[in-house]
Amino acid sequence: MASDVATPHLPGLLVVISGPSGVGKTTIVRTVRQRLDAVFSVSATTRPRTSQETDGTDYYFLTPGEFQSMAARGEFLEHATVFGQHAYGTPRRPVEMAMVDGRIVILEIDVQGGIQVRRVMPDALLIFIMPPTEDDLLKRLRGRGRDDEAAIQRRYAEARAEIEKARGSGVYDEFIINDDLERAIDAACAVIERRRAGSGLRVREEGR
């Protein structure tokens, strides 16, 4: 029997998911996005577009001047220059428009980006994906078979530093250990749905 009680409109929610290289966050983000019908934010970059990429779908490809102008006007939620070469950032307007429509928006960014987002969007939900142990992380990096040992050790050191930065930053709401992929995905979905439902309750109470 159908209920006569209307389902209350839930507000949009910005979710930041971070984690070190090799922890499985991209797989988690992809699955969470599908399960919750979330929007994945498209980043802007100054790096050249490849022949396989589409502007506005893979990235917003900008000239350095365009990027700097947007940054000066405060049009990025977060931005950074990677390896001293190309700039990357999250355009603010598409995120805010999706949230106005009641959508969940997911950003997959590093800790420095998460810190920036927290400053400008204090109600965002920030999740950090953790490996079970540091030894497990090293095994995962080696198991990918993409790099030589020197590169693996460099990535491992960077990953450890990223974990410490996340712990010390104080901006992350949840730390989820990916010792089992399905369990980690379920945990991320539960955290997001719980926060969104709580936000919806506050909105309805304030609007009474």
- Contact by Cβ (8 Å): 90, 79: yes
Q: Please name each of the domains of the chain with its CATH number.
A: 11-38+103-208 (3.40.50.300), 42-102 (3.30.63.10)
DSSP letters for 175-202? EEE-SSHHHHHHHHHHHHHHHHHHHHHH
Sheet holding 125-130, edge to edge: 39-40, 104-108, 13-18, 125-130, 174-177
Q: What is the pLDDT of residue 197?
A: 86
Distance (Å) of CA 94 to CA 82, 101, 201: 23, 11, 25
Residue given tokens 């540091």 in the structure block: 134
Total residues found in the chain within this entry? 208
CA 57 to chain centre: 17
* Cβ neighbours for 94, distance < 8 A, ≥ 6 positions apart: 41, 42
pLDDT at 206: 34
pLDDT at 125: 98
pTM of the model: 0.85
Q: 149 Cβ partners below 8 Å, 6+ apart?
A: none
User: Residue 42: CA atoms inside 13 Å, Cβ hemisphere, count?
Assistant: 13
pLDDT in tens, 31-40: 999 999 999 9
* pLDDT at residue 1 in the model: 45
Tokens of 29: 């983000």
Which regions of the chain are under pLDDT 50?
1-7, 200-208
Instruction: Express each pLDDT in 37-92 by its tens digit.
Output: 999 999 999 999 999 999 988 999 999 999 999 999 999 999 999 777 899 999 99
Segments in 75-179 forming alpha helices (H): 92-100, 111-120, 134-143, 149-169
Pairwise CA distance, residues 159 & 137, whole Å: 8
How many whole angstroms from its chain centre is CA 53? 21
